[in-house]
A and B are shown apart, each in its own frame.
Chain A
Amino acid sequence: MAEQVQEPVMPASATRVKRTHLVAVMMSGLLLGVFGVLGAALVGLSHDGTAARIAANEREALLHQLRVLVPAEQIDNDMLADAIEVTAPALLGTTSTRVYRARNAGEPVAAVLSPVVTQGYNGAIALIVAIRNDGSLAGVRVLTQRETPGLGDKIEIERSDWVRGFDGRSLGNPADSGWKVKRDGGVFDQFTGATITPRAVVRGVKNALDYFNENRTQLFAAPSIVEAPHG
């Protein structure tokens, strides 16, 4: 600010000083605007350049996740294009869960619920739960979690095989009273030093099974909300 004053403002005419100030302010504003436009242009251009690839990446990542749970050989539909959105906060822990339907020759094979949210030791744990049409679990994976590294994060498939313990389980296997960790009298292992995390996952999976059991027919009958991908 001191700089404008040092400009040779000859006979201290007040209006003159005011005008130089005004020009300076406007120049600054203009420059700032120009850089804003340049920055926005750069971001816009890079967005245009990468958007298609990012969308493909996300689709690929999701598809990969679904295929791990429901092998591609068992089905003949595009699960990503055959999905519905459901709301069951009491059982699924969130207001919006997507259900991907796997079918073979039109017959339901499995439903993949994503996400199923359950409260762990350190906040929400988001699961993806695949349930076969007969009510047995095709598999469970962790989408996101913030559990203690080295303790609670053993629910991740990269860290331990624990989560595979759900494969093939269903509402009758074990019976209702067995859907707990061992410490609580159930059949599922807990981890040394971390009981809350596995307890939360077991509860989340059980809730997802309950939800599936109650809504199986509608889940497969409702029309898909996703349009077949274009091009």
Chain B
Amino acid sequence: MADGYGKIVTDGLWSNNQALVALLGLCPLLAVSNTLINGLGLGLATTAVLAMSNVSVSIIRNWVRPEIRLPVFVLIIASFVTTVELVMNAYFHGLYKVLGIFIPLIVTNCTIIGRAEAFASRNPVPRALVDGLSIGLGFTLVLMVLGGSRELIGQGTLFDGAHLMFGEAARGWRLTLGESYPGILLAILPPGAFMGLGTLIALKNIIDKRLRGPRPAVAGDVEPATA
């Protein structure tokens, strides 16, 4: 528990990545990762909610009786999600329309209540904030990598729809693999999301194994990464 901030950050981004290790929040992860920009948009919205809910939960952690802890967390998370939804509708209207139902559904992302319960309710505010941001960023990165590769394989583009998020100037960011690229439909369809995620998890495990390979496993590396 008394780990430094570095550990919190690496946990969130890599060793306890909620999408690749904890396998939480899969519903939005699989549904919205069809383009890089969609992934980035939902990832940032989730990160904002995570940071805010972690901080609030940490602030009130000593006042809330254990029996009503979960309902209070749910109330806090639901309020922040609704706020984020309204703000996105007001300032990123196009992206809001694309992401649709998945913004309100952030409420049901187990990662958020999971971090509130497992980390924020037992740690001081600054640590809870760092944890929220790292976990959120880790989730966003997976969404972006998965979204980017599905977009690239499926329709042969990258940054499609960037103008929805960054304004009209970003229309030119769109990269195309060449007009003749036929696109592999499977990557865009739901099975493509599962295959992509499976591949990412496998890659992460391979990398972890390589990193651990040369030296005998240190206890700290293998310990289950639950907080």
Contact = CB atoms under 8 A, between A and B. Distances in A.
Asked if A and B bind, the verdict is yes
B86 A39 contact: no
Enumerate the 3 nearest inter-chain pairs by beta-carbon distance, A residue then B residue, closest first.
A39-B79, A50-B90, A53-B90
Interface stretch (B16-24, B58-66, B110-118, B137-145): B58-66
Contacts of A32: 68, 71-72, 75
Determine the interface band of chain A, counting residues with CB < 8 A from chain B.
20 to 34
Interface in A55-78: 57-58, 60-61
Contacts of A50: 86-87, 89-90
26 contacts: A3-B66, A31-B63, A32-B72, A35-B72, A35-B75, A35-B76, A39-B76, A43-B79, A43-B86, A46-B82, A46-B83, A46-B86, A50-B90, A53-B90, A53-B91, A54-B86, A54-B89, A57-B89, A57-B90, A61-B93, A149-B189, A150-B154, A150-B183, A150-B188, A150-B189, A151-B185
B72 A42 contact: no
Nearest to A151: B185
B26 interface: no
A46 B78 contact: no
A150 B80 CA distance: 35
Interface in B69-124: 71-72, 75-76, 78-80, 82-83, 86-87, 89-91, 93, 97
Contact of A43 (B66, B68, B82): B82
A39 B75 contact: yes
A27 interface: yes
Contacts of B89: 50, 54, 57
A150 B191 CA distance: 14
Scoring A38, A58, A151 by chain B CB atoms within 10 A of each residue's CB, the highest score goes to A38
A60 B89 CA distance: 13
Interface in A23-60: 24, 27-28, 31-32, 35-36, 38-40, 42-43, 46-47, 49-50, 53-54, 57-58, 60
A36 B188 contact: no
Contacts of A39: 75-76, 78-79
Given A47-B86, A57-B90, A148-B189, 8 more contacts: A32-B68, A35-B75, A39-B75, A43-B83, A50-B87, A61-B97, A149-B188, A151-B185
Given A28-B67, A31-B63, A149-B188, A46 B87 contact: yes
A150 B185 contact: yes
Contacts of A58: 93
Interface residues of B, number: 29
Interface of A: 1, 3, 24, 27-28, 31-32, 35-36, 38-40, 42-43, 46-47, 49-50, 53-54, 57-58, 60-61, 148-151
Interface string B14-56: 0000000000000000000010000000000000000000000
A113 to B, nearest CB: 21
A31 B91 contact: no
Contacts of A54: 86, 89-90, 93
B185 A57 contact: no
A35 B69 CA distance: 11
Contacts of B87: 46, 50
Contacts of B155: 150
A149 B90 CA distance: 28
A106 B97 CA distance: 35
A28 B68 contact: yes
Contacts of A3: 66
A151 B154 CA distance: 12
Nearest to A28: B68
Interface in B129-176: 154-155
A230 to B, nearest CB: 20
Interface string B166-201: 000000000000000001010011000000000000
A160 to B, nearest CB: 12
B65 A28 contact: yes
